[in-house]
Amino acid sequence: EKGGHDFFMSKEIEEQPAALADTLRGHLVDGRIVLDEQRLSDQELRDIDKVFVVACGTAYHAGLLAKYAIEHWCRIPVEVEVASEFRYRDPVLDRSTLVVAISQSGETADTLEAVRHAREQKARVLAICNTNGAQIPRESDAVLYTHAGPEVGVAATKTFTSQVVACYLVGLALAQNRGTKYADEVEREYHQLVASADAVKKVLASAVEPTRALARELADSKAVLFLGRHVGYPVALEGALKLKELAYMHAEGFAAGELKHGPIALIEQDLPVVVVMPSPRGRATLHAKLLSNIREIQARGARTIVIAERGDETVRPFASTLIEVPVVPTLIQPLVATVPLQVFSAEVARARGYDVDKPRNLAKSVTVE
The closest of 98, 91, 94 to 46, measured between CA atoms, is: 98
Q: Select 279 or 342, whichever has its Cβ closest to ligand M6R.
A: 342
Q: Select 73 or 160, whichever has its Cβ closest to ligand M6R.
A: 160
Nearest distance, CB of residue 143 and ligand M6R, angstroms: 14
Helix (H) or strand (E) holding 324: strand 321-325
Nearest distance, CB of residue 118 and ligand M6R, angstroms: 15
308 binds ligand M6R (CB under 6 A): no
Nearest distance, CB of residue 367 and ligand M6R, angstroms: 10
The sign one gets for the Cα dihedral 356, 351, 275, 296 is positive
Q: Select 97 or 131, whichever has its Cβ closest to ligand M6R.
A: 131
Helix (H) or strand (E) holding 274: strand 272-276
56 binds ligand M6R (CB under 6 A): yes
CB 306 within 8 A of CB 294: yes
Q: What is the DSSP code (8-state) at residue 256?
A: G
CB 45 within 8 A of CB 92: no
13 binds ligand M6R (CB under 6 A): no
57 binds ligand M6R (CB under 6 A): yes
338 binds ligand M6R (CB under 6 A): no
The closest of 206, 226, 319, 211 to 266, measured between CA atoms, is: 226
As a whole number of angstroms, the distance between CA 331 and CA 252 comes to 23
Nearest distance, CB of residue 34 and ligand M6R, angstroms: 23
155 binds ligand M6R (CB under 6 A): yes
**What is the x/- site pattern for ligand M6R, positions 76-115, by CB under 6 A?**
---------------------------xxx--x--x----
Binders of ligand M6R among 238-267, rule CB under 6 A?
241, 245
Span from 3-11, 118-126, 149-157, 208-216 in contact with ligand M6R (CB under 6 A): 149-157
- Collect all residues with Cβ–Cβ distance below 8 Å to 112 and sequence separation of at least 6: 103, 135, 136, 139
146 binds ligand M6R (CB under 6 A): no
38 bridge partner residues: 142
CB 171 within 8 A of CB 66: yes
Nearest distance, CB of residue 332 and ligand M6R, angstroms: 21
As a whole number of angstroms, the distance between CA 277 and CA 321 comes to 13
Nearest distance, CB of residue 55 and ligand M6R, angstroms: 6
Q: Select 57 or 91, whichever has its Cβ closest to ligand M6R.
A: 57
As a whole number of angstroms, the distance between CA 274 and CA 218 comes to 12
As a whole number of angstroms, the distance between CA 147 and CA 130 comes to 6
Nearest distance, CB of residue 6 and ligand M6R, angstroms: 18
Binders of ligand M6R among 268-307, rule CB under 6 A?
none
As a whole number of angstroms, the distance between CA 304 and CA 312 comes to 16
Kindly state the number of chain residues that form the binding site for ligand M6R, as judged by CB under 6 A. 16
Q: Select 108 or 304, whichever has its Cβ closest to ligand M6R.
A: 108
366 binds ligand M6R (CB under 6 A): yes
Alpha helices in the chain (DSSP H): 8-14, 16-24, 42-46, 57-74, 83-86, 109-120, 135-138, 158-178, 183-217, 232-247, 284-299, 333-351
Span from 4-12, 65-73, 152-160, 227-235 in contact with ligand M6R (CB under 6 A): 152-160
The sign one gets for the Cα dihedral 230, 234, 240, 243 is negative
9 binds ligand M6R (CB under 6 A): no
58 binds ligand M6R (CB under 6 A): yes
The sign one gets for the Cα dihedral 57, 114, 51, 182 is positive
Q: Select 15 or 245, whichever has its Cβ closest to ligand M6R.
A: 245
345 binds ligand M6R (CB under 6 A): no
Name the site residues for ligand M6R (rule: CB under 6 A).
56-59, 103-105, 108, 111, 154-156, 241, 245, 365-366
